[in-house]
Amino acid sequence: MMLRSLIKSLGVSCALLLAAPTLAKPTFEQYVEAFKVEAVDQGYDRVFLDEVFANVKYRKSAVKKDRNQPEFKVTLDTYLPKRLPQWKVDRAVKLAKEHAELLQKVSAHYGVQPRFIVALWGMESNFGKIQGNYPVISSLSTMAYDGRREAFFRKQLFSALKIIREGHIEEPDFKGSWAGATGQSQFIPSSCLNYAQDFNGDGKKDIWKDEADVFASIANYLKTEGWDNSSTWGRQVFMPQGFDTKLTGLKRDKMKTLAQWQALGIRRLDGRDLPERDIKASLIMPDDENGRIYLVYENFHTLMDWNRSTYFGASVGHLADRIKLGR
Ligand SMILES: [Ca+2]
């Protein structure tokens, strides 16, 4: 009898031991609780954390959006008219005029032309109108729990806590995209901490409601990442038939001077010579040799730091050009 029960209990402990390495994934609530414990270890106040996470919810739709990003074939010729319709150009021109004084001040302070600030503002949030409706704490907790990019989203969640603790925004107002991009500049929380500015001097870096802070934060990002306001972003160019496409690409060792590109047969879109300026440029083909071809300068590399998509960079560049043109 005793032996039997011993074997039985041994059997049970063996089963437990075997089960241990494959413990079930914690529930979302358990995951959030464990995160809070870690945050306390990092010096966050428990009461503060309970308040911040009081309304945290698992957002299934955020995970769905992360997993269903469009994979269908897009080209610049279909992307640009969609992302940059005439109404957006008109609005950009109008707003650049309305905010001219403030933009000049920001531009002088950071060394970034106003048209690029307005172009990024327009592309990121439709000039502040679309900032996303996901509560940032919930979307980041969800994405971290989902686990596909856990380390990245945990870092963003810690940055979000810091933003709230520093008093730039209160939790109920802290909204953004499903992936946690927030404010009129659509910064992820770590970018808020690195680049957001308090330009109106009220003590808050308010990238959600205050235009002075928004413009300064965008400009500060560009300046910090190497923007040069004596130059522009690049231009669409003509590439001759049979051109060696191995020369294209954003890698630094493929950059050449405008004179070198000129000698290789690259021309402005209307056939004229390239500008005679001693600057280096990359030749890029976001689609293929039959699609749009661009010569892009150092500033375009800075735009790639903001968002890795060459489509996005070209859109910002085209919008900035249209603002300069005034139509
Ligand atoms: Ca402020």
Span of 53-57, 63-67, 270-274, 313-317 with lowest mean pLDDT: 63-67
Q: Percentage of the chain surpassing pLDDT 90?
A: 89
Confidence band, pLDDT 50/70/90 cuts, at residue 23: confident
User: How close is the Cα of 181 to the center of ligand 1, in Å?
Assistant: 19
CA distance 111 to 228: 7
Residues 89-97 have a mean pLDDT of 98
User: How close is the Cα of 317 to the center of ligand 1, in Å?
Assistant: 28
| Cβ atoms of residues 301 and 279 within 8 Å | no
User: How close is the Cα of 207 to the center of ligand 1, in Å?
Assistant: 8
Looking at residue 239, its pLDDT comes to 97
Residue 130 has pLDDT above 60, yes or no: yes
Please give the biggest Cα pair distance in the chain: 99
CA distance 254 to 301: 13
Find all residues with CB under 8 Å of 19, minimum gap 6, and list them: none
CA distance 175 to 208: 9
| Cβ atoms of residues 281 and 256 within 8 Å | yes
User: How close is the Cα of 322 to the center of ligand 1, in Å?
Assistant: 29
Residue 158 has pLDDT above 70, yes or no: yes
User: How close is the Cα of 45 to the center of ligand 1, in Å?
Assistant: 25
Residue 314 token pair: 């070209």
Point out which residues pair with 86 in neighbouring strands. Answer: none
User: How close is the Cα of 199 to the center of ligand 1, in Å?
Assistant: 6
Residues 8-16 have a mean pLDDT of 47
User: How close is the Cα of 227 to the center of ligand 1, in Å?
Assistant: 23
Long-range contacts of 46-53 (CB under 8 A, 24+ apart): 48/165, 49/161, 51/171, 52/137, 52/161, 52/164, 52/171, 53/137, 53/141
CA 64 remoteness from chain centre: 19
Residue 13 has pLDDT above 80, yes or no: no
User: How close is the Cα of 206 to the center of ligand 1, in Å?
Assistant: 5
Looking at residue 10, its pLDDT comes to 47
User: How close is the Cα of 201 to the center of ligand 1, in Å?
Assistant: 5
Residue 7 has pLDDT above 60, yes or no: no
Taking a 5 Å cut-off on Cβ, the residues next to ion ligand 1 are 198, 200, 202, 204, 206, 213
Mean pLDDT value across the chain: 93
**What is the tens place of the pLDDT at every residue in 220-241?**
999 999 999 999 999 999 999 9
User: How close is the Cα of 283 to the center of ligand 1, in Å?
Assistant: 40
User: How close is the Cα of 307 to the center of ligand 1, in Å?
Assistant: 25
CA distance 276 to 255: 16
User: How close is the Cα of 76 to the center of ligand 1, in Å?
Assistant: 37
Looking at residue 170, its pLDDT comes to 97
User: How close is the Cα of 213 to the center of ligand 1, in Å?
Assistant: 5
Q: Identify which of 7-11, 66-70, 180-184 has the greatest average pLDDT.
A: 180-184
Residue 220 token pair: 């500060």
Confidence band, pLDDT 50/70/90 cuts, at residue 3: very low
User: How close is the Cα of 66 to the center of ligand 1, in Å?
Assistant: 32
Among the residues of 20-85, which ranges form H helices?
28-41, 46-52, 60-67, 76-83
User: How close is the Cα of 211 to the center of ligand 1, in Å?
Assistant: 9
User: How close is the Cα of 216 to the center of ligand 1, in Å?
Assistant: 10
Confidence band, pLDDT 50/70/90 cuts, at residue 22: low
Looking at residue 94, its pLDDT comes to 98
User: How close is the Cα of 198 to the center of ligand 1, in Å?
Assistant: 4
Confidence band, pLDDT 50/70/90 cuts, at residue 66: confident
User: How close is the Cα of 203 to the center of ligand 1, in Å?
Assistant: 6
Residues 10-26 have a mean pLDDT of 58
Looking at residue 24, its pLDDT comes to 87
| Cβ atoms of residues 144 and 103 within 8 Å | no
User: How close is the Cα of 296 to the center of ligand 1, in Å?
Assistant: 34
Span of 46-50, 70-74, 84-88, 95-99 with lowest mean pLDDT: 70-74
DSSP string, 193-249: HHH----S-SS---TTT-HHHHHHHHHHHHHHTT--TTS--EEEEE--TT--GGG-S
Q: pTM above 0.75? A: yes
Taken in order 160, 166, 168, 169, the sign of the CA dihedral is positive
Residue 71 has pLDDT above 90, yes or no: no
Looking at residue 68, its pLDDT comes to 81
Looking at residue 67, its pLDDT comes to 87
* 3-class SS of residue 173: helix
User: How close is the Cα of 236 to the center of ligand 1, in Å?
Assistant: 38
User: How close is the Cα of 132 to the center of ligand 1, in Å?
Assistant: 21
Residue 8 has pLDDT above 80, yes or no: no
